[in-house]
Homo-oligomer: A and B are copies of this chain.
Amino acid sequence: MKVIIVGGVAGGATAAARLRRLDEQAEIIVLERTGYVSYANCGLPYYIGGTIQDREALTLQTPESFRARFNIDVRVKHEVLSIQPEAHTVTVRRLEDGSEYTESYDKLLLSPGAKAIRPPLPGIDLDGIFTLRTVEDTFRIRSFLEEKKPRSAVVVGGGFIGLEMAENLIHAGVRTTLIQLDDQVLLPLDKDMAGEVHSYLRGQGLDLRLSTAVTGFRRQDGKLETLIGDQPPVAADLVILAIGVAPESDLARRAGLTLGQKGSIAVDDHMRTSQPDIYAVGDAVELAHIVTGQKALVALAGPANRQGRIAADHICGLDQSYSGAQGSSILKLFGMTAAATGLNERSAKAAGVAYDKVVTYSASHAAYYPGAQNMTVKTLFDPATGRILGAQIVGFDGVDKRIDVMATAVRAGLTAQQLTHLDLAYAPPYSSAKDPVNMAGYVIENLRAGLVEQHHWDQVAGLPDDGSVILLDVRTPDEVAQQGLMRPDVIHIPLDSLRQRLGELDPSKKIYVNCVSGLRSYLACRILSQRGFRCSNLSGGWRFWSYAARDRVHDAAPTHPCGIPIGEDRHGA
C-alpha cells in the first residue's frame, strides 16, 4: 500500500505515524509545502514573545528524525499542485527548484490546514504587516522584533492568535493596540462572559478597541498607520493580522471533491471525502458538532490529531469513527484563563437548541488555603432534561480543570443532577468539598426544582422604576459602600438582617434580589418566597452585571471569591 499525505503538521503527522505503527510495510510519503513538519504550531506566539526561548523546541521533529523513527519519506518544500482522483496521482512541485513530478497513491490523505485570512484592504501588503501561521511566519516576526525593535504594534483580530500575539508583544515590551470588529473578543465566550476578559486585558495595558473595523493601512511620515474609518488612524511599528482562518480547500475543490460550508472539505465519519480513496482531516474539514449534530468548522489541534489517527485506522482496515467535536478551547491571557466547551448562547440560538443558563462563582480551591481565586462559570443546560449543553469559565486558577470536567460531562451527556453527584478529588490545595462543577449542578437543580426564579444582568436596566416592583440588595453595608448600588431605587437590606426587616417590604410587589455573586441573594429568595413574597434572584449578582452591563475596570483577583465571606459558599446552594 502506498499512502500520500499532504501536509505534515498536526493531523497529517499524526496520521503518518499511526499508519506506520499499523503497517510496517506501507510506503508512506508526506508532502509538506513549508520547510518544517510536525512543528509546535500552537507554541509559535510564545516563541515570538520569548516565553519559549529555544527555537529548536518548536521544530524538534525533522524530516530526518521522522524517517529514522517511522521510516517515512518526508518531503518538505514540496507543494501538491493538483490531484487526479481517477488516476490516483498527484502532481507535485519542488519549491526549491520549481521542477514538477507525478506521484501515484493507493490512498491519499489531505491535511492542508487553514490559511490566515488577508482581506483585500488598501495597503495590506505594506512592509511590517504580518500574519502568523507557519514556522517561517514566526521566524519572520521574531527577526523583525529583534532587528527593528518595534515599540508599538497593532493586532487586528481578537481570536486565539490575536490575543496570544497581543499578550506576547506586551510581554516583549511592545505597546499594543488590538482592534476587533465584533463587540467582544474570543467568540467561544458569550459577550457577557467576555466582559471580565475585556476589563482584565485593559488592566494589563492592552489598548483594546472593540466594534472597530480596519479599513486599510498606509505609510505616513515613515510610520505604518492602521486606518479605522473616520476615527484617527493608529500608528505602529508593526501590524499582526489575526482576523481568522479559512480552510485550505483549493486543491480539494479543483479535484472535484464535495465541499462543505465556508469552502471546507466534506467528509464522512471515517474522514473520507467524496472520493473513497481520499481522506481529509484537520482545520480544512467540516465536522459534526456532538451537541447539535449540525455541521461546523473547528480549527483546533486536538480534533485534528484525533481525526488523523482515525483516518489512518480506517485506511488500515480498523473500524474507527470520528464521534464529532464540541469545540473545547482554552486560552491563557497573562494570568487569566478563559475556556469554553459545547454550546454557548450564540451557537445554541444559531442551532435552534432550547437552553437555559446559570452563572456561578466559585473559589478555585478551599478559600482558607493560600492562593484560592474565584472563577466565573456559565453553564448552559436543556431546560427539559437538565442535560448540560456547554460551559464557559473565566478565572485565574483551576479553570482548565473545570472546563475539562465539563467537557467530559457534555460528551457523556450528563445532566445537572449528575454533575451534583460527581465525586471529584478534594483536598484544600486543589478544590472544595463542593467543587465549582458540583456547584453549577446544584444551582441548576435548584432552578429546575422551582426553588428559585432568576433574572439576568441584561434585564436589570429594564425593570420598572415606577415603584411597581422592588429591587432589593442584600450585600453588606461595606460592600455597598465600596461597589455602589446598581440603580438609585434599590432598597438595601443586608441578608443577615432580612428576617428582622421583612416588614419594610411590600408583599404585593415582586422583589428582584441581588448580592455580589448571586449566592446570598439566593438565600434571601428562599427566605422571601417561603414567607409569601414573589421574588427573583439576579444570576451572577452585582459582579457579573458590573462586567457585562458596563465597562468596569477589573479588580485584582481577590483571594476570597468576589468578597464572599469564607465558608458561605460551603452552605450556599
A interface residues with partner B (beta carbon < 8 Å): 10, 13-14, 17-18, 20-25, 38, 40, 42-43, 46, 51-52, 54, 57-58, 60-61, 68-71, 160, 290, 300-306, 309, 318, 323, 325-332, 337, 339-341, 366-370, 398, 400-401, 403-405, 407-409, 411-412, 414, 418, 420-431, 433-435, 438, 442, 449, 451, 495-496, 499, 523, 526-527, 530-531, 565-567, 570-572
7 cross-chain pairs, A with B, having the tightest CB-CB distances, nearest first: A17-B571, A412-B412, A330-B425, A24-B530, A401-B401, A57-B368, A301-B433
Sample of 7 A–B contacts (CB below 8 Å) = A14-B570, A22-B451, A24-B530, A42-B433, A43-B366, A404-B435, A412-B414
Q: Kindly report which residue of chain B lies nearest to residue A44, judged by CB atoms.
A: B428
Residue in A160, A290, A403, A428 whose Cβ sees the most chain B Cβ within 10 Å: A428
Interchain CB contact (< 8 A) of A304 among B69, B429, B433, B526 = B433
CB neighbours (8 Å) of A496 from chain B are 68-69
Q: Cα distance A149–B272 when bound, in Å?
A: 71
- With a cutoff of 8 Å between Cβ atoms, the chain B residues found around residue A565 in the complex are 60
State A280–B354 Cα separation when bound (angstroms).
40
| A366: min CB distance to chain B, Å | 6
Closest to A412 in B: B412
Known contacts A332-B427, A423-B341, A433-B304, A368 near B411 by CB under 8 Å? no
Known: A14-B570, A52-B368, A61-B567. 4 other contacts (CB 8 A): A51-B370, A331-B427, A337-B430, A405-B408
Other-chain residue from B21, B43, B303, B318 in contact with A526 (beta carbon distance below 8 A): B21
Q: Which residues of B contact A301 (CB under 8 A)?
A: 426, 433
Q: Quick one: given A43-B368, A368-B43, A449-B318, are A302 and B423 in contact (CB under 8 Å)? A: yes
Quick one: which of B318, B325, B337, B430 contacts A330, CB cutoff 8 A? B430
Nearest Cβ on chain B to A513's Cβ, whole angstroms: 14
Question: Are the CB atoms of B566 and A421 closer together than 8 Å?
Answer: no
B403 in contact with A422 (CB, 8 Å): no
Measured CA separation A300–B424 after assembly (Å): 11
| A571 lies within 8 A of B14 (CB) | yes
- B430 touching A407 by the CB < 8 A rule? no
The reply to whether A426 and B330 contact each other, CB–CB distance below 8 Å, is: yes
B433 touches A302 (CB 8 A): yes
Q: How far is the CA of A244 from the CA of B425 in the complex (A)?
A: 19
Tell me, in angstroms, the Cα distance from A567 to B442 when the chains sit together: 41
Say whether A306 contacts B428, CB under 8 Å: no
Which chain B residue has the least Cβ–Cβ distance from A329? B425
Known contacts being A57-B566, A301-B433, A341-B423, is A21 close to B523, with CB within 8 Å?
yes
Asked whether B423 lies within 8 Å of A328 as measured between CB atoms, the reply is yes
**Is A368 within 8 A of B40, CB to CB?**
yes
How many angstroms between the C-alpha atoms of A414 and B369 in the bound complex? 33
Contact status of A332 and B430, CB under 8 A, knowing A400-B425, A411-B422, A423-B325: yes
A434 touches B567 (CB 8 A): no
Given the complex, which residues of B lie within 8 Å of A332, measured CB to CB? Answer: 427, 429-430
Measured in the bound complex, the distance between the Cα atoms of B24 and A301 in whole Å is: 52
A449 to B18, CA, bound (A): 14
| Residues A38 and B571 in contact in the complex (CB < 8 Å), given A24-B530, A43-B368, A305-B433 | yes
Measured in the bound complex, the distance between the Cα atoms of B408 and A425 in whole Å is 10
CB distance from A60 to the nearest CB of B (A): 5
**Residues on the B chain within 8 Å of A60, using CB:** 368, 565-567
Cα(A357)–Cα(B210), bound, Å: 52
Whether A423 touches B400, Cβ cut-off 8 Å, given contacts A69-B496, A369-B43, A567-B38, is: no
Q: Which residue of B lies closest to A327 (CB)?
A: B423
With A57-B368, A70-B571, A499-B71 as known contacts, state yes or no: A411 contacts B400, CB within 8 Å: no
B38 contacts A570, CB within 8 Å? Answer: yes
Nearest neighbor of A25 in chain B, beta-carbon distance: B530
User: Which B residues touch A160, using CB under 8 A?
Assistant: 427
List chain B residues, Cβ under 8 A from A290: 423
Residues of chain B lying within 8 A (CB to CB) of residue A404: 401, 404-405, 424-425, 431, 435
Bound CA span A542–B409, Å: 35
Bound form: Cα–Cα A465–B228 in Å: 77
B400 touches A431 (CB 8 A): yes
A255 to B523: give the CA distance in the assembly, Å.
Answer: 35
In the assembled complex, the CB of A307 is this many whole angstroms from the nearest CB of chain B, namely: 11
A69–B523 CB distance below 8 A: yes
Task: Determine the chain B residues whose CB is within 8 A of the CB of A398 once the complex forms.
Answer: 400
CB-based contact B424/A407 at 8 Å: yes
Please judge, given known A-B contacts A38-B571, A46-B369, A571-B17, whether A420 and B306 are in contact too, CB under 8 Å.
yes
Closest-CB distance, A43 to chain B (whole angstroms)? 5
**Contact in complex: B423, A303 (CB < 8 Å):** yes
Most B CB contacts (10 A, CB to CB) among A13, A57, A449 go to A57
Q: Give A435 to B421 CA distance when docked, in angstroms.
A: 24
Cβ-defined contact, B425 with A341, below 8 A: yes
Residues on the B chain within 8 Å of A408, using CB: 405, 408-409, 412, 414, 422, 424
Q: Distance in Å from the Cβ of A362 to the closest Cβ of chain B?
A: 14
A43 touches B428 (CB 8 A): yes
User: Which residues of chain B come closer than 8 Å to A426, judged between CB atoms?
Assistant: 42, 300-302, 328-330
